[in-house]
Amino acid sequence: MNASAGPHPVIPGFTLRRVAAGEVEIAAAVRGEGPPLLLLHGFPQSHLIWRKVAPALAQRFTVVATDLRGYGASSKPPGDPGHVNYSKRRMAADQLAVMTALGFERFAVCGHDRGARVAHRMALDAPLAVDRLAVLDVAPTLAMYEGTTMAFARAYYHWFFLIQPAPFPEALIAAAPEAFLRHHMGGRHAGLAPFLPDAWPHYVRDFSDPAAIHASCEDYRASADIDLRHDEADQAAGKRVRCPLLALWGRHGVIERQFDALGAWRAVATDVRGGSLDCGHYLPEEAPDALLETLVPFLHERRP
């Protein structure tokens, strides 16, 4: 199951593992007892986004915080013409395989940014495995593309830059990866402060790998291509998320300004609640206490 395991270098008490998931290995930080909880990060980060909340969650849950394929210390397979390797369906299957390998057949999932899109797909494709779903600072992918405006395109320029054919965006980012991160992450509501000093060097190191840059571009190319086809097929078939869903977003971010997040999630899920927190995009790092105050009661609700 595990290619290697050892103490986590940043998050006290956690064990860092590499878990085989089909043709890839997924890095996972694991600790705790109680109901299993899978945490999924977003672009351009890693499982370290959870470092401020994971220890508290591990007092109540068995926490598994992973790196998505293509990110952090997980495998980074090359892209393919149809972007299948980085479809949310394939990425969700990785995470399901990790939880199965760790002995968890049914679990809760909380995802931020890209991780929330993977979690959404997992809840649709494996409804017997996901008993509770929390999504942070996203609306459904199809709804966001269909609702694209000039203001959204300006704020989320990277959605349209990263999907350009390889190797154009890869080459530009690889020329100055830390400068790209400073602009992308530091240009939002809270600046760079939420990531300093502990996580930032890891984010820069991991994202500076050309394979990680390519993988993240493929992640976005998939979202503008094969993922939309999967979402459209679900919509046509009336397929919805059936487990309870908590949607949270930053009050000072794009989701608050430009989308009806609860309305968008209610269009694709049957049991939706949530609201905004006093922060920007990076909820686990900007507002960890507020996130815990809302997330923990939701996760502890009586399970069906």
Say whether 47 is catalytic.
no
Q: 107: which strand partners? A: 130
**Is 112 known to be catalytic?**
no
* CB-neighbour burial class of residue 277 (10 A; exposed 0-12, middle 13-18, buried 19+): buried
Catalytic-labelled residue, pool 67, 94, 113, 206: 113
CA angle 207, 212, 215 (to 5 degrees): 140
Q: Which helix (H) or strand (E) holds 157?
A: helix 157-161
Quick one: 60 exposed, middle or buried, by C-beta within 10 A (0-12, 13-18, 19+)? middle
CA distances, 11 to each of 25, 49, 169 (Å):
21, 11, 33
Q: 161 near 169, Cβ under 8 Å?
A: yes
Q: What are the catalytic residues?
A: 113, 281
